[in-house]
Structure 1
Amino acid sequence: MIAQFDIEPYKAPLLFLGVAGVAVPLFRRLRVSPVLGFLIAGMVIGPHVMGRLDAQLPFNLPFLANSEGVAAVASFGVVFLMFNIGLELSLERLVLLRRFVFGLGALQVALCGGALYLVARAFGLPQSAAIVLGAALALSSTAIVVPVLAESRRLNTLSGRAIFSVLLFQDLLVAPLLFMVSMFSDTAEQAHPFLAFAPALIGVAAIVGVGRLVLRPMFQLVAAADSTELFMAACLLVVIATAVAAAYAGLSMALGAFIAGLLLAETEFRRAIELAIDPFKGLLLGLFFVSVGASLDPMEVVRHPGATIGVAVVLTLVKTPLLIGLARLFSLPWRKAREVGLLLGPGGEFAFVILSTAVAAHILPADLTSEILIGVTLSMTLIPLFATLAARSVPKKEAFLPGPQPSELAPVSRVIIVGYGRVGEIVGELMRVHKVDYLCVDGDPAIAAQARSRGEPVYWGDGTNKDFLNLCGLANARALVATMHAPSAVDAVVRQAREARGDLTIVARARDAAHARALYKLGATDAVPETMEASLQLSEAALVDIGVPMGLVIASIHEQRDIYRKALIADESQASPPRPFKARRQKRPGK
């Protein structure tokens, strides 16, 4: 007799994969933000809509799982998001945008959070609940606002820069807010203040201390194994282990992952880790929003329209005028200030994270939180409409700032050096002498570690991987220099870089003349054969040593190099090498 198949363990994976593979692409085609797509899909397939059919039909529908089936796994979506935020935080970004980040961003959170706190207190909420609610609702939606601005090509405008700076400060604030929620929990309130903070502080200190001692040596060991699978497993281990350690210390799992990201951000493995966890971050974060959507009952809008719609209206009406006033205070023109207020006025995705944590800590009641989150979702759906209205009000001639854009949206332009052996190190040294900003990539973890110990900006990773090069700033690079010894690796880097950017200056190291010709065909701007350079340097040394004036030697070397390069580009055959320049034959003494 065949045992009856139990579909229950497979419901959650089938549910999520169906949403990710079918529903979200459909929302993308309709130009709806993926975040809203996950939320709406979660509502539809959750227990409050289609899930109710389970109780009414005589058979079990395999794709209609309840929200509890995905909630445990979905929590790791936020963990990976916070880990990635810690990994991406850069002192350079903060210094570059410090006026808007720590000025406009800090004032926005303080004033909007304070105003929303007063509204919550006016409705009778306890002080701790009102503080958490005000702080959570003061945050805006990075996941929707940044893609909307990028699609309309307004990220490099003055208002776009201000909006991004505020969102960056809000990202910095999420970890402290999660810590605050942990401190407001029932167990924290019942204990002595020192006893409440002590486990948390000890937990943070332990994660930081152990992380500094263990993380870099562990990744050096794993990188030396040269296995993509092992490196990915190590990344997942670090994220999950630090999250669990933080939870064990009484903190949120997301806070532990954030600390781990900060620790790894200053290592040579930062770029490779970003690449390894990106698919997991996206999928699990999508699963988190599906679980949030499944927990929301859209019928609450029908049953309590005043509460749900009122949250969206009050939230937008409180934040938008304050944001406009603050933007004007920071010398933004009226129309750009209005754009800042309209796009940052609605709620954001971190409200779901913070308020869900507050419910678990018994700070906020679940029913009230559900109504508030529906209101936040309604406000988020208005962001694309607000962006359209704001863009139409700005004249085209005022839309973009002239000149280079010193922001994360247009990062400082660097020269990327792929390969940091003996050749790459000399290239880097010359870049440093001429004060050219550069970034190096090498696939040998020992070389990357030694360079890092000397303060060199070297990252470990696969330079032939286009995604990895993009994480290193290929889209904004001034030039790329490929110095690897293996010709096949140089070919791959040149091919990938040229496919990504047709205007990029690419200088490549070639084995010989034939390899240089091949590199020119692949799109290299300049290819430098080792044999040619060695012969030119030998000639230069010999001529100078026998007394030929240095100026004449340098001029002739440059002339010969130019002739050789033009011949290679013209694809002359190897059997007919370029002819050297013709010097005047001088008469010998006595003739």
Structure 2
Amino acid sequence: MAGSSDLYSPVMSDALVILGSAGIVIPVFNRYRITPVIGFILVGLLVGPFGLGRHVFDHPWLSYVTITDPAGLEVFAEFGIILLLFSIGLELSFGRLWEMRRMVFGLGSLELIVIGSALTFILTAIGQGFAGALALGLALALSSTALVLKITNTATPVGRAALSMLLFEDIALVPIIFLLGALAPHADSDSMGNLLNTLMWGSAAVIGLLVFGRYLLPPLFAQAARTKSPELFLATSLLVVILASLATAATGLSPIVGALVAGLLIAETEYHAEVEQITEPFKGLALGVFLITIGMSIDIRVVWENLASILIATVGVILLKAAVTGVLLRLMGARRGTATETGILMSSPSETTLIVLTAAGSAQLIQQGTAQFWQIVTAIGLTVTPLLSMMGKFVARQVERIDLSSEPAEDPDKPRTIIIGFGRVGRLIADMLKKHDRPYIAIDADTDFVTDGRRQGYAVTFGDAGRGDAMLRLGAANASAVILTMDQPVIAQRIVRKLRIQYPDLPIIARARDADHAAQLYRAGATHAVPETLESSLQLSEAALVETGVAMGPVIASIHEMRDEFRERIMEQGGLDKKPALRSGQLREAEDA
């Protein structure tokens, strides 16, 4: 009986709820290509004290499917953020961080100061005391490290800009909290001294980590690797993260600073890839716990009772932060699309906003009801962050589309090859055409591909080849050939069919996924359809034959013969003859069939 009681202890019950949620949320949301962030927040809303937990006293059995000790999860949620900053450090390096110094301390400081000042002014104007307005302004100016960096890719312009601002905000968190303590009605005169003392000892701790870590970590991980024990390697990685976090926390700095430094140090060793891979599951689960705690903090009843004011406050904060961040990025030379997407992505409040709000309440700068109101606004803002990310991508695409479509296309009467799609395959084809002095023009509906291609000197324009008269403007009537490179079977078939009807004699070469897709493209009117699976098999065969001593001439001849045989077989599968071009009359017969 004692064992049964232990089994169903509150800690075990909460652990089962969290693991069960992860087992349901991640596969279901991945199945529909929706970020699990929303799923975890909704789970927290459902199983938290303001969801089903509200009815535990009336229905005791609900204790087995609800979180019974929300405060006990806070340490795991904080550990998730620590692991996230550690993984960011692994992706960075001291060289890259030094290159970002202008963005971190320039853009990051400007963003925090300007948004914080604007919010302080607005809150003061509507009746909040200056000290409280300043606390709220700084709190709401912060953006979510945990969600933004999980959603975006730090290798992209948007990700780099977001990372720069978030790094500065994390560094500024400690001075902000000390500032609020100094503004407290009953603050002592030693607050500034305490701040300087913390900064001094914190700097010493960071320098100590950098010095000792550079010399101790390589042999430590080398010894762990020699044992060939994944468990020991994992334990060593977590030990380094925890010790670094405790070192900075002991001096008054945030533990996430220590985690970031630990990641940077390991990134300089040859073991960083293994460490990143082995800690990834723990980071994902711990971040899931953090998101569940965000959902648990939302009281639906309070939201409903104050729905209008909460919505106005949430939308107002989001619009202000998006506008200011976007303008600052444009002033620093970012593209319109990058500035727009980053501004919208960074517009919601942060998990650290909750920390600053708690500090402001403890310092008696804001009343408890005011703190609760802005906590709900923050929780709702965090919940909609994935939606803001999607909205940012969409709006940025429209902004870039307006800019790119306003640029004149090249002369449509010039005979040339038209490449539809300018991803990896389209770029390679453009390189080959340039190498043989063949004129070409590429078209793509992805603004990033178009902008990057133009920056590197490629002839690429923005547009959707499947809509309107885009192909006519590019000169399809006089084109040497049209090459479709996109990995979108249905769209490719539709474009091929449209082109064949409009231009019966136009050579159309299309990329196909496999033999079945190639047959469909032939039926749609393609002159040549090249299955990726076939070409990879032929290349493997060619390499194998050459390596086993067969002369290159006979190998190339046999490869060509095999390719022709496969093409004939695919065209037979499509119900067409083996002529190299497909006449419009034959196309209609194939479609009727």
Between 1:6-15 and 1:30-39, the stretch displaced more is 30-39
Q: Report the counterpart of residue 176 of structure 1 in structure 2.
A: 171
Q: Report the counterpart of residue 5 of structure 2 in structure 1.
A: 5
Query: Equivalences for 1:525-544 in 2 at 5 Å?
Result: none
Query: Equivalences for 1:40-439 in 2 at 5 Å?
Result: 40-59=42-61, 61-66=63-68, 67-90=70-93, 93=96, 104-122=107-125, 123-124=127-128, 127=131, 133-141=136-144, 161=157, 163-181=158-176, 183-184=178-179, 190=188, 191=190, 192-193=193-194, 194-330=196-332, 338-348=340-350, 351-352=353-354, 368-380=370-382, 381=384, 382-383=387-388, 384-392=390-398, 394-395=400-401, 399-400=447-448, 401-403=450-452
1:36 aligns with 2:38: yes
> Residues 335 and 279 (structure 1 numbering): CA distance in 2 closer, same or farther, change over 3 Å?
closer
Aligned-partner residue type, residue 394 of structure 2: T
Confirm or deny: 8 A CA contact 1:83 1:258 kept in the other structure: yes
Aligned-partner residue type, residue 313 of structure 2: V
> Residues 273 and 57 (structure 1 numbering): CA distance in 2 closer, same or farther, change over 3 Å?
same
Unpaired segments of 5 or more residues in structure 1?
408-501, 507-517, 533-560, 572-591
1:16 aligns with 2:11: no
1:124, distance to aligned residue in structure 2 (A): 3.1
**In structure 2, how many angstroms separate the alpha carbons of the residues matched to 1:61 and 1:360?**
32
Confirm or deny: 8 A CA contact 1:43 1:293 kept in the other structure: yes
> Residues 97 and 57 (structure 1 numbering): CA distance in 2 closer, same or farther, change over 3 Å?
same
**In structure 2, how many angstroms separate the alpha carbons of the residues matched to 1:109 and 1:525?**
57
**In structure 2, how many angstroms separate the alpha carbons of the residues matched to 1:22 and 1:402?**
40
1:527, distance to aligned residue in structure 2 (A): 11
Query: Equivalences for 1:442-457 in 2 at 5 Å?
Result: none
TM-align CA RMSD: 4.4
> Residues 405 and 105 (structure 1 numbering): CA distance in 2 closer, same or farther, change over 3 Å?
farther
1:77, distance to aligned residue in structure 2 (A): 0.5
1:62, distance to aligned residue in structure 2 (A): 1.0
Confirm or deny: 8 A CA contact 1:301 1:309 kept in the other structure: no
**In structure 2, how many angstroms separate the alpha carbons of the residues matched to 1:125 and 1:260?**
41
Aligned-partner residue type, residue 172 of structure 2: L
Q: Higher RCO, 1 or 2 (CA under 8 Å, sep at least 6)? A: 1
1:61, distance to aligned residue in structure 2 (A): 2.3
1:203, distance to aligned residue in structure 2 (A): 3.5
Which deviations, in whole Å up to 9, do the C-alpha atoms of 1:28-74 show, x marking residues without a partner?
45554322322222122101111111122244621212312322222
| Secondary structure class of the residue paired with 1:267 | coil
Which deviations, in whole Å up to 9, do the C-alpha atoms of 1:503-539 show, x marking residues without a partner?
9xx9xxxxxxxxxxx9974x9979997xx9xxxxxxx
1:101, distance to aligned residue in structure 2 (A): 6.1
**In structure 2, how many angstroms separate the alpha carbons of the residues matched to 1:210 and 1:338?**
42
**In structure 2, how many angstroms separate the alpha carbons of the residues matched to 1:246 and 1:74?**
18
1:146, distance to aligned residue in structure 2 (A): 7.1
Aligned-partner residue type, residue 5 of structure 2: F
Between 1:353-362 and 1:298-307, the stretch displaced more is 353-362
> Residues 371 and 402 (structure 1 numbering): CA distance in 2 closer, same or farther, change over 3 Å?
same
Aligned-partner residue type, residue 285 of structure 1: L
Confirm or deny: 8 A CA contact 2:103 2:165 kept in the other structure: no
Confirm or deny: 8 A CA contact 1:182 1:361 kept in the other structure: no
1:392, distance to aligned residue in structure 2 (A): 4.1
**In structure 1, how many angstroms separate the alpha carbons of the residues matched to 2:108 and 2:254?**
24
1:318, distance to aligned residue in structure 2 (A): 1.8
| Secondary structure class of the residue paired with 1:107 | helix
**In structure 2, how many angstroms separate the alpha carbons of the residues matched to 1:77 and 1:371?**
26
Confirm or deny: 8 A CA contact 2:84 2:146 kept in the other structure: no
**In structure 2, how many angstroms separate the alpha carbons of the residues matched to 1:144 and 1:346?**
10
**In structure 1, how many angstroms separate the alpha carbons of the residues matched to 2:455 and 2:91?**
17
1:297, distance to aligned residue in structure 2 (A): 1.8
Paired positions, count? 425
Between 1:294-303 and 1:179-188, the stretch displaced more is 179-188
